[in-house]
Structure 1
Amino acid sequence: MPELSRRRALGAAAALAATAGSLAAAAPAASAAPHHGGPEAFDEVYRGRRIQGRPSEGGGHHHGGGYAVLIDGVELHVMQNADGSWISVISHYDPVATPRAAARAAVLELQGSPLVPLA
C-alpha cells in the first residue's frame, strides 16, 4: 500500500473542505429563500428607527450579495457569510440569521446615534 504524502493529504483535505463548504452554503440559502432565492423584503419601525430591506440590483459590495438594508434612509452595509448568516459593519463579529436581524442589531448598537454613510 503506497504511503500518503503530505501533498496528497493536503489535496484531499482541500477537496473535502471545498465540498463541505459548498454543501453548507447551499443548504441555508434554500431554507432562507422565500422569494426568488433571497430573504424577504421588509419595512418597519424598530425602536423608533425606520429599517428597510430589499433585494438590490447592484449586487452589493461583497460577493454579489444583492441585498440592501437601510436605517432611516441611510444604507447599512450588510454581507451574507458562506454559512448563510448575515453581518453588518456595525455588528461585524455577531452574525445573525437574516438582514432584518442585522438591521435590528445595528439599531440596538447605535443607541440612538445616526448611521453615518460609508464612503
Structure 2
Amino acid sequence: MDKISRRRALGTAAGALTAVGLARTTAHAASAPAPISAGPATASGPLDEVYQGRRIQIGAAHGGGHHGHHSPGSAAVRIDGRELHVMRNADGSFISVVNHYETFPDLRSLARAAVRELQGAPLLPFGGAA
C-alpha cells in the first residue's frame, strides 16, 4: 500500500492554499474602489457651497497637491480656499487630518464635519506650517 509522506501532504496543502489566496486576491482587485473622483465622491459632481459661514469647494485636483500626492482624476477639498488633506480608505470611505478617527461616505460630509470640528479656526497647511 502506498503511503503519502508528511512532506508531500504539506506541499499539497500549501499549493492549494496558495491557489485559493491568489483567486481571492484577483477577485478583490476586480472589485477595488475607483480613485477619488469629484463625481461619485460628492454624488453631484464638483461642489461650491457655504456651510456654517465657511466656503467648501470640492473639485478636480490641480498641480501636485500635498508634496505631489494627487493622482490623475483625484479630487481636492478646500475650506476657505485652503486645501484639506484627504485620504481614501480601502473600503471607499474618506478621512481627513482634521478628523481622522471618523470615516465619511463622501467628500461633502467629510468637509462639513471638518468645518464643524474647526469651530471657526482657520485651516492650517498640512504639516503645521503657517
TM-score normalized with structure 1 length: 0.71
**1:51 maps onto 2:60 in alignment:** no
Q: Please, which moves more after superposition, 43-52 or 63-72?
A: 63-72
Whole-angstrom CA distance in 2 between matches of 1:92 and 1:48: 23
Partner SS, residue 28 of structure 2: helix
Other-structure match for 1:4: 13
* Shift of residue 110, structure 1, vs aligned partner: 1.1
In our comparison, the structure showing a higher alpha carbon Rg is 2
Does structure 2 conserve the Cα–Cα contact (< 8 Å) formed by 1:53 and 1:68?
A: yes
Distance in 2 of aligned mates of 1:59 and 1:66: 11
Deviations 1:4-37 (A, max 9, x none): 02x752x3454245234324424xx4xx9784x7
**Percent identical across equivalent pairs?**
48
TM-superposed CA distance for 1:38, in Å, is 6.2
Asked if the contact 1:58–1:66 (Cα under 8 Å) also holds between the matched residues in 2, the reply is no
Match of 2:98 among 87, 90, 94: 90
Mapped to 1, the partners of 2:89 and 2:110 lie a distance apart of 12
2:125 is matched with 117
What letter is aligned with 2:26? Answer: T
Q: Distance in 2 between matches of 1:81 and 1:34?
A: 16
Is residue 58–residue 77 contact of structure 2 (8 Å, CA) maintained in 1?
yes
Partners of 1:84 and 1:59 in 2: CA distance: 22
CA distance in 2, matches of 1:108, 1:20: 39
Quick one: distance in 2 between partners of 1:34 and 1:63? 13
Q: Deviations over 1:65-99 (max 9, x none)?
A: 62111111111011222222111111222121111
Counterpart of 1:18, as a letter, is T
